[in-house]
Structure 1
C-alpha cells in the first residue's frame, strides 16, 4: 500500500521543490527586485534574479504564464529605461513611477503564485513542522494558504452565474458592486469560518505529533537553486 501511495505522489509531481526552498526563493526574489537598482552590476543581478520565476514556471510547464510574463516585462522594461527618460511632463513622470513600481513587485507576485499553485496544504504544514514552528503560527498560515485559491474559485463561480443570467457589468460600477462584490464579501466570511473549522477537524491544534503522507526534503535541484539565489543575494549585499 505504501509503495502505491509513493508511486501516486511521485508520478503526480515528477519535478517538485521543497516548500522551504520555494519560500527562500520567494524572499530572495522579492528583496532583490524591490530594493535593487538598475545601475551598474545591479542591472545584471536583477536580470539573473528574474530568471528564477521564469525557470520555476517552465519546470512546472506553465508556458502560457511564462510567455505573458516575458512579453509584459519586456515592454515595461523598455518603457522604463528607453522611452520615459526622454519624455517630460507630470503625467509621464507619474506613469513612469507606476511602471517602475510594477516592474519591481511583479516577480514577487509571480513567485507567490508559483508557491501557492504548486504547494498543497499538507506539504506546507509538513515543511512548517520541519522548521519547528509553533502551531499558533502554522494553523493561521495554513488557513490563509488555502483562503486565496478558494476566493479565486468562488469569484469564478460568481462570474459564471452572472454570465448565465445574461447580466453584463461592463461600464456599470453599481452593478459590479451589487452582483459581484457583495456576494464575494459574504462568501469570504463563510469561507473563513469553514476553513478554520476544517483545520481544527483535521487535528492541526493537537499537541501530539502528527503524521503526514507528503514526502518533502531537499533534492539536488533544491540545493542548486538555493546556491544560485544565495550568490545573487550576496552580490546584492556586497556589490
Structure 2
C-alpha cells in the first residue's frame, strides 16, 4: 500500500504541484501584485505574474474561464492608460483608478480560487502537518476550504427551487433578495456549524499525529515554482529599494 501511494503521480486537478507550493505561489502573486508599481523591471515581472493563473487554467482544461480571465485582465490593464489623458481628474480618480485597482486584485483572487478548487481538505491538512502549523490555524482554514464550495451548492439548490416556483427572478431585485439571499444567509450559520462538527468528528483537533493517505510531496515542478517565487521576490526588492 505504501509503495502504491508513493508512486502515485499528481493529477492535473492538483495543478501538478504540492499544496505548500500552491500556497506559496498564491501569497507571492497576491502580495507582489498589490505592493509593487509598474516601473522598471516590474513592467516585465507583473505581466508574468498575471499569466500564472492563466497558465493553470489552461492546464486544468478550463478554456472558457481562461478566456474570461485574459479579457478581464487586458481590459483593466489597457483601458485606464487609454482614457487617463482624455478624461477629467474626477472621472479619472473614480473610474480609471478603480479599474486599475482590479488589475492588482484579479491575479491574486484567481490564484486563491485555484488553490481552493484544486486542493482537498485532506491535502491541505497534510501540508499543514508537514509544516508544523498549529491546529488553531489549520482547522479553521480547512473548514473554510469546504465552506465556499458548500455555499455555491446551497445557492444553486435555492436558485433551482425558486425557479420551480417562478419567484425571485432578476426582473424583481427585491423579490430575489428576499427569496434567494435571505434563505442563503440563514443557511450559512447551519453550514458553518455542520462543517465545524464534521472536522472535529474526523479528529482534526486530536493532539496525536494523524496519518494521511494523500500523495503529497515535492517534485521537480515544485522546485521550478520555488525558483520562480525567489526570482520574483528578488526583483521586487531590487525595484523597491534600489529603483531597478
TM-score normalised by the chain length of structure 1: 0.92
Aligned to 1:209: 209
Per-residue CA deviation, residues 201-222 of structure 1 (Å, 9 max, x unaligned), is 1011111111101011111111
Aligned to 2:242: none
In the aligned structure 2, how far is the partner of 1:160 from the partner of 1:5? 40
Moved over 3 A (4+): 1-15
In the aligned structure 2, how far is the partner of 1:93 from the partner of 1:11? 45
Instruction: Supply the RMSD in Å over aligned alpha carbons.
Output: 2.1
The 1:29–1:94 alpha-carbon spacing in structure 2 relative to 1, beyond 3 Å, is same
Worse-superposed segment, 191-200 or 88-97: 88-97
Aligned length: 239
Aligned to 2:50: 50
Q: Say whether the 8 Å CA contact 1:38–1:46 is kept in structure 2.
A: yes
Aligned to 1:81: 81
Per-residue CA deviation, residues 1-29 of structure 1 (Å, 9 max, x unaligned), is 66677788756758521111011001110
1:174: Cα distance to partner? 2.0
For residues 82-101 of structure 1, the aligned pairs below 5 Å read 82-101=82-101
Aligned to 1:174: 174
Worse-superposed segment, 135-144 or 19-28: 135-144
The 1:228–1:173 alpha-carbon spacing in structure 2 relative to 1, beyond 3 Å, is same
In the aligned structure 2, how far is the partner of 1:65 from the partner of 1:237? 32
The 1:225–1:161 alpha-carbon spacing in structure 2 relative to 1, beyond 3 Å, is same
Worse-superposed segment, 211-220 or 5-14: 5-14
Aligned to 2:159: 159
1:67: Cα distance to partner? 0.9
1:168: Cα distance to partner? 4.3
1:173: Cα distance to partner? 3.0
Q: SS at 1:205's partner residue?
A: coil
In the aligned structure 2, how far is the partner of 1:228 from the partner of 1:6? 26
Q: Say whether the 8 Å CA contact 1:42–1:236 is kept in structure 2.
A: yes
Q: Say whether the 8 Å CA contact 2:126–2:214 is kept in structure 1.
A: yes
Q: SS at 1:169's partner residue?
A: coil
Worse-superposed segment, 133-142 or 86-95: 86-95
